[in-house]
Amino acid sequence: MELWRVLSFLIIITASGQGIAHEWLPTYPKLTMSHVPGVYRTQMRLFNSRKEINYYKVTVHDGDMDPVPFALTANQFALNTIQVGYMKQKKIDIYIRDADKDRAVYICSKSRPLADSQTKTMLYSRICSKIK
């Protein structure tokens, strides 16, 4: 009976590792005043651990998951999409206006598979961090 429990645990751990797509840190980011008056900033770190995914979309939401306006650093991809290679990480600066600071509750990242991907993956991952 004990061997069965150990084997079951190992199978669950091994199988669950296949679904890990990316890390989105910190879990509870803080907004601080940026160099631009009336604009707050936080920095997130995105780490990609899936070969078939290279793009992630960043969004900011209120408590009801409605979108909140924000901006990323100038060198980011169009439509708030960021390219991060396999086993690479990227630091992302997120800017939120003072007028929207109190509405912003979550900063999320979602994997974006390419339409012409060879694997035609159906596994999307979305991770949200809650603003302190």
For the entire predicted model, the pTM comes to 0.78
Does an H or E element contain 3, and which?
helix 2-16
Q: Would you state the pLDDT for residue 13? A: 42
Residue 78, SS3 per DSSP: helix
pLDDT digits (tens, 9 = 90+) for 60-81: 999 999 999 999 986 666 678 8
Map tokens 């940026």 to a residue: 34
* CA distance linking residue 100 with residue 81, whole number of Å: 21
Task: Report, as an integer, the average pLDDT of 32-49.
Answer: 96
The CATH homologous superfamily to which domain 21-130 belongs is Immunoglobulins (2.60.40.10)
